[in-house]
Structure 1
Amino acid sequence: MGTWPLLVDFECSILRRDELTPAAERAGAVLRGNVPAPAIERLPAALRGLWKPLNRIAARNIDRLLELLPGQSPLLLVVGGGTIGNGVSAAYADPRVQVVGFDIVGSPHTQFVADAHQIPLADRSADAVLVQAVLEHVLDPGCVVAEIHRVLKDDGLVYAETPFLQQVHAGAYDFTRFTASGHRFLFRRFDELDAGSVAGPGTQLLWSVDYLIRGLTRTATAGRVVRAALFWLRLLDVLIPREYQADNASAFYFLGRKRDRDMSPEEIVAYYPGAQTGRARPWREAP
């Protein structure tokens, strides 16, 4: 398929060969310059920043991940790496790191095409995995995280960002959302090095206003214009304490290290980081 190896077991995958081929042709057209860049990419940098500001949380966490990577030429696997994610460019710029990306569509940033439910790498072959804004788009996030755990070396690292309160943003290919506790439980076979909100209630409100205007006007363009005009709502995030962000965040991040032990039910209930602590009950207590 084009210049990218197609490493998909179609008998066990939800992906279909006849769906991937047209996608590859579109990707090849983009590489050849036959398809114009999205409108937002053609705007001046200052205006693009109003719509999609730098993800400083990701940039900070990627810097930390790079510091934790061992030895020379560590392998960083990027799941859903068709584009370079917001705030993670330092990983691609680090000459010490071998970045290997894959997606269901080939791009200049991917080495092969594959299904994240069946990562075509050997056990314990990667030093770290980056999975940013991907797990909401897979049918079985638990299966994908299990695959990430499998391909990581002992004590390997994972960095993930996943939505909590965001509207549908990939049509039929948007499936799942996670609370802070749900996101932690998804990575229950990892030690937590850090976790928290990527974007808080102000950003979440901005998403809601955008989609409200889309619904009222029946056009996504109007929503985007209003979203750009109300960019300052994001600034409210810094005023919200961490525990209140946990109950009302736009998205969460998790930075962890591989381990072999699962979290227990008691541990995940005790983990809850939000502001509603007085409502927690022992997990065995009858309703």
Structure 2
Amino acid sequence: MPLVEWDEIRPLLVCPRCRADLETGPGGLHCTDSACAHHSPAAFPLVDHRPVLVDFERSVVTRDSVTPFAGRADARQGADRLPVPLRHLVKPPNRVAARNLDLLLRALPGPAPRLLVVGGATVGNGVGALYRNPDVRVIGFDIVTSPVTQFVADAHRIPLRSASVDAVLVQAVLEHVLDPASVVAEIHRVLKDGGLVYAETPFLQQVHAGAHDFTRYTASGHRYLFRRFEEIASGPVAGPGTQLLWSVDHLVRGLTGNALAGRVARTGLFWLRGLDRLVAPDFALDGASALFFLGSRREREMSPGEIIGYYRGAQSAR
């Protein structure tokens, strides 16, 4: 697994509040700026031998929520706990992500580009090839510790130097942050000029992370979120058939008060997902379960007029 070694990551790290350099102290890292609140020794402690680079006063992440990986309950949730054949009925392999990741990897500059995974506590559905590619140096972080992350951070203040990575992967994360525009601005900042971003974000999905689920995007809204990027590709990750499965699942949950009953109903109607292939592309955009965006960093920002002209769905402007 081509995770970047700590000796290479350490010079890239900065204070999440003031972006000054960091120093190593007896109990962890701290900011070198004496005027910064994080200048005190061990301002950023270690958990699981990973620095916790979070500005807790300005984050929904709390100190108590960052616990050792081994001490937490099984990190696998829902479909991930099922046997593989049944898991693929409930949560099939994400072929759209796999195809787009291949596009991204082939477009990366060489040699040994750095790719940052935002919210990478687990290997995302369809992106496993990234972690098997020996030519890519992967940096991962999340708000919890994980065997596939090197530090803990809040994506609103990514503790990396500007223009320090060649690509960013942010899959099924932006719905879980308070201010997605700020997170995308941070992604833009840490990317090198022309750097690539691949994002997947829900459109028509029910709440799936309780108090940590905040936002949904239409195709146009998702594009405007990445308005300082040149589009390479975009579209549905999953269409109206998959969206219908989500609705059936949550309807049954609501009627029975039982999440397991919803998952059983969803599994029994797995064939609805196949209807995605029969829906015309313009209708699929208007009724997608989730959307993707693959783009390259630029300085020019898309204008409000451009986003109105961008619409490609089935509802023509009147």
- 1:1-287 to 2 correspondence within 5 Å? 1-20=47-66, 24-25=67-68, 27-29=69-71, 35=74, 38=77, 40-279=79-318
Structure 1 outlier segments of 4+, above 4 Å = 34-39
- Is contact 2:162-2:191 (8 Å) kept? yes
Q: SS in structure 2 opposite 1:273?
A: coil
Q: Distance in 2 between matches of 1:108 and 1:93?
A: 15
SS at match of 1:117: helix
The answer as to whether partners of 1:29 and 1:35 remain within 8 angstroms in 2 is no
Indicate conservation of the 8 Å contact 1:4/1:113, yes or no: yes
Q: In structure 2, what residue type is equivalent to 1:78?
A: V
Deviation string, structure 1 residues 83-142 (Cα, Å, up to 9, x no partner): 000000111110000011100001111110000000000000010000000000000000
Q: Separation in 2 of the partners of 1:18 and 1:42? A: 26
Aligned twin of 1:285: none
Higher helix share: 1
| Offset at residue 214 of structure 1 (A) | 0.3
| C-alpha contact 1:197 1:245 (8 A) present in aligned 2 | yes
SS at the partner of 1:49? Answer: helix
Alpha-carbon distance between aligned partners in 2 of 1:213 and 1:94, rounded to the nearest angstrom:
41
Identity over aligned pairs, percent: 65
Distance 1:36 1:18 in 2: 17
Shift of 1:164: 0.4
Q: Which stretches in structure 1 are left out of the alignment for 5+ residues?
A: 280-287
Q: Taking structure 1 as reference, are residues 174 and 36 closer, same or farther at Cα in structure 2, changes over 3 Å only?
A: closer
Determine the C-alpha separation between the residues in 2 that align with 1:54 and 1:176.
24
Measured after TM superposition, the shift of residue 144 of structure 1 is 0.1
For 2:124 and 2:59, the matched residues in 1 are separated by 25
What CA deviation, in whole Å up to 9, does each residue of 1:156-195 have, x standing for no partner? 0000000000000000000000000000000000000000
Q: CA 1:39/1:261 → structure 2, altered by over 3 Å: closer, same or farther? A: closer
| Offset at residue 46 of structure 1 (A) | 1.2
CA shift for structure 1 position 37: 5.2
Q: Return the alpha-carbon distance in structure 2 between the equivalents of residues 254 and 69 of structure 1.
A: 16
- C-alpha distance in 2, partners of 1:36/1:166? 22
Residues 44 and 14 (structure 1 numbering): CA distance in 2 closer, same or farther, change over 3 Å? closer
Distance change (3 Å), C-alpha of 1:38 and 1:187: closer
Q: Distance in 2 between matches of 1:36 and 1:72?
A: 34
